[in-house]
Amino acid sequence: MANVTVVGASGYLGGELLRILINHPEVDEIVPVSRRLSNKSVSSLHRNLLNIFDKKFVDLNLDGIETDVAFFAAPPGEWFSSLPGLIDRGIKVITLGGKFRIKDAEIDKEVYGGYENKELLSERVYGLPEIYREEIKKAMFVTNPGCYPVSVILGIIPLKKFKDKVDLEKIVVTSITGTSGAGATPSENLHHPEVSGNIRPYNVLFHRHVPEMEFILNEFFGKIKISFTPIISDMKRGILSSVTLFSDSFDIDVNLNDHYKKHYKNEPFVRIASEIPNVANVIDSNFCDIMAEYVPDSRRIIIISAIDNLIKGGSGQAVQNMNLMLGFDEKMGLNMIGGHP
Ligand SMILES: NC(=O)c1ccc[n+]([C@@H]2O[C@H](COP(=O)([O-])OP(=O)(O)OC[C@H]3O[C@@H](n4cnc5c(N)ncnc54)[C@H](OP(=O)(O)O)[C@@H]3O)[C@@H](O)[C@H]2O)c1
């Protein structure tokens, strides 16, 4: 059994972490941390948890905490400096924000600024089990991937077998996300009248998830360049990514979707679909649905992938990592199925 602490429990990912961990058979105590709401009941904010988890939030004080796992579902902050002490005391740490995802001190600093700790950076394991499962099992410190990178990396990685056949420097990715991707803090751009019935590209010149996708993929491909257009829609949650790669020499006898099925045949949370995936089928679940095809007429490979940004793109992914780090069944607590319609 495990005791866990959730820093940022008042946020969207923190709330979803609580919802998953409450039903986790191996978790017997959850400490929900919030600086703003300490001493208020969790269910007065996360009203879906009324009569289920009415415990009070506690203030952020990590000195001497006794816990098996500490989740940090919080933006960059002074809490970074407490990580080495936690790890030294044998507490497993899972961060859900961007800092430390890119294992290159210069890029990490350029993209995420602030706190530098080369030792932590070299110790971190990127928390995508479909690629780094064995490393995650042994890790003390795991950085969860970004939400867009989950959908894009899982979509591209099976192509490593064909990496000499595709133009790696011209990969075009368009991703549509829901508004919860921006977190719970209100902003003018996300005000209901601005978003409702609307769809709007943003950060088209630079999005900080691009260096992350390129860094991870380049461990396998060598020289990937991604042209990325993120689009915010009026869905509240979900990401649909469309990835296009070009190839003049792809063998038209290869059934790409079958290759993907083989590649992911032992993965509990990646489903290769014969129909084009859509967001509704993965919402509330830890699944990533993918379809991949080669289109000979336009000499392109098209990959469509769908996830719930708050689950496989965040809290479900973090629990999958916790399960691996603690030696539990990887699927434990994550048997949610999306609804239909
Ligand atoms: N939303 C997504 O789809 C998504 C997906 C993947 C990754 N992420 C990343 O995960 C992190 C959390 O995202 P979110 O969407 O859940 O954000 P959120 O809804 O804004 O919640 C973050 C929570 O963190 C707490 N917090 C803020 N600053 C803090 C600090 N300096 N120290 C400790 N706690 C602090 C706040 O709680 P109190 O003020 O009550 O303490 C806040 O409620 C972010 O780094 C985000 O980039 C988000």
* Ligand 1 contact, 10 CB (< 6 A): yes
How many angstroms separate the CA atoms of 289 and 296, rounded?
23
Is there a contact between 321 and 71 (Cβ–Cβ < 8 Å)?
A: no
| Residue of minimum CA distance from atom 43 in ligand 1 | 11
How many angstroms separate the CA atoms of 295 and 301, rounded?
6
As annotated, the residues of the chain forming the CATH 3.30.360.10 domain(s) are 148-309
Radius of gyration of the chain (CA): 20
Could you give phi then psi for residue 128, rounded to 5 degrees?
A: -120, 95
Q: Residue type at 234?
A: D
How many angstroms separate the CA atoms of 310 and 237, rounded?
7
How many angstroms separate the CA atoms of 324 and 330, rounded?
6
Task: Measure 11 CA to ligand 1 centroid, in angstroms.
Answer: 5
Other C-beta atoms closer than 10 Å to the C-beta of 278 total 14
List the one residue out of 86, 70, 90 whose CA is nearest residue 3: 70
Q: For 96, which DSSP code?
A: -
What pairing do the DSSP bridges indicate for beta strands 226-233 and 199-201?
Answer: antiparallel
What is the DSSP secondary-structure string of 36-86? TTTTSBHHHHSGGGTTT--PBPB----TT---SEEEE-S-S-GGGGGHHHH
What is the structure's pLDDT at 333? 98
- Of 19, 96, 115, 311, the one to substitute when testing ligand 1's pocket (max ligand atoms within 8 A of C-beta) is 96
How many angstroms separate the CA atoms of 8 and 151, rounded?
24
Distance from chain centroid for Cα 60: 24
How many angstroms separate the CA atoms of 33 and 82, rounded?
15
* Ligand 1 contact, 39 CB (< 6 A): no
Is there a contact between 30 and 6 (Cβ–Cβ < 8 Å)?
A: yes
What is the structure's pLDDT at 341? 85
* Ligand 1 contact, 13 CB (< 6 A): yes
How many angstroms separate the CA atoms of 33 and 271, rounded?
34
What is the DSSP secondary-structure string of 149-207? HHHHHHHHGGGGGGTTTS-TT-EEEEEEE-GGGG-SS--GGGSHHHHTT-EEE---S--
Which top CATH class is 148-309?
A: alpha beta
Which top CATH class is 2-145+312-326?
A: alpha beta
List the one residue out of 71, 67, 124 whose CA is nearest residue 91: 67
Q: What is the pTM of this model?
A: 0.98
What is the structure's pLDDT at 64? 86
Residue 220 burial (10 A CB sphere; 0-12, 13-18, 19+): middle
- Active-site residue flag, 147: yes
Q: Which residues of 22-36 are buried (b: 16+ CB within 10 A; e: fewer)?
A: eebebbeebbbbbee
How many angstroms separate the CA atoms of 194 and 188, rounded?
8
Q: Tokens representing 283?
A: 């919402």
Cis peptide before 201, with omega less than 30 degrees from 0? no
**Ranges of the chain whose pLDDT falls below 70:** none
What is the structure's pLDDT at 114? 78
Could you give phi then psi for residue 290, rounded to 5 degrees?
A: -135, 145
Q: What order of strands is seen across the sheet that includes strand 125-126?
A: 27-33, 2-7, 69-72, 92-95, 141-143, 125-126
What is the structure's pLDDT at 113? 87
As annotated, the residues of the chain forming the CATH 3.40.50.720 domain(s) are 2-145+312-326
The active-site residue out of 147, 292, 304, 311 is: 147
Task: Measure 122 CA to ligand 1 centroid, in angstroms.
Answer: 24
What is the structure's pLDDT at 106? 94
